[in-house]
Amino acid sequence: MQNDYPNTVSYNRFVELSQSVVMPMAIFLKTCCLGTCTGISFVDSTPIRVCKNKRIKRNKVFKNTATVGQSTVGWFYGFKLHIVINDKGEILNFAITQANVDDRDPLKNEVFLKNIFGKLFGDKGYISKELVKILFIGGIHLVTGIRNNMKNSLMSMNDKIMLRKRSVIETVNDELKNICQVEHSRHRSFGNFIVNMIAGLIVYSFFPKKPTIRFETMKSDQLVAFY
């Protein structure tokens, strides 16, 4: 398509120029690409590795910014991407933190959950009585599973069903990494890392088909969710 784009620059020059539009891209993402809360939201974090573990000591690009963290898969070096989605698979908000930051810290920020209301479903890593009280004051009901050493708590059948469908946000994280390529080890500056992350989130927002939860109401007025 060189006839349509006669002034196309080289790849190296394109990478250099992309850093100059990081602010317009971020504004476009925040204003035009985020979804709308429906009252049912899911929150999760995913590791963003910047290099393999055996190359941590040799990594110079993220020497003073990236940190070592731990996920369910194991230890990694890089950052964390925290996202909140609705039942339609649309991203409602996101945050990028260092790898050693607790998953519950972004939820304590009012800006991160500014337009979120209703029920927020998360994994066992978000269990915190203090966090539940803080979110409840803001009109958000945090629903999580319980650990094996915890006492059982009463939970409605609808909440149990929605907790089982929390894998929808894991599918979103998988598409962000494998299709939108928000994670790779070829960054040569922190600016390029941010631009690539924002571009990947923008690309996902334009997907015609996203992971979605479909609801049907039974005669007993209970919701049945299909993924």
pLDDT band at 5; cut points 50, 70, 90: confident
Predicted local confidence at residue 140, as pLDDT: 92
Task: Provide the 3-class DSSP secondary structure of residue 97.
Answer: strand
Instruction: Assign 3-class secondary structure to 113-158.
Output: CCCCCEEEECCHHHCCHHHHHHHHHCCEEEECCCCCCCCCCCCCHH
Predicted local confidence at residue 218, as pLDDT: 44
List, for residues 145-196, the tens digit of each pLDDT value.
Answer: 876 666 666 677 888 888 888 889 999 999 999 999 999 888 888 999 999 9
**Is it the case that residue 97 has pLDDT exceeding 90?**
yes
Enumerate residues 6+ apart whose C-beta is below 8 A from 132. 142
Q: How far is CA 149 from the centre of its chain?
A: 28
Give the CATH class of 11-226: alpha beta
List, for residues 102-143, the tens digit of each pLDDT value.
Answer: 999 999 988 899 889 999 999 888 888 888 888 988 899 998
List, for residues 17-56, the tens digit of each pLDDT value.
Answer: 888 899 999 999 999 999 999 999 999 999 999 998 899 9
Strand bridging mode 75-86 / 40-49 = antiparallel
Strand bridging mode 118-121 / 140-143 = parallel
Half-sphere exposure at residue 88, Cβ-oriented, CA atoms within 13 angstroms = 13
Sort residue 96 into left (φ over 0), alpha (ψ -120 to 50) or beta: beta
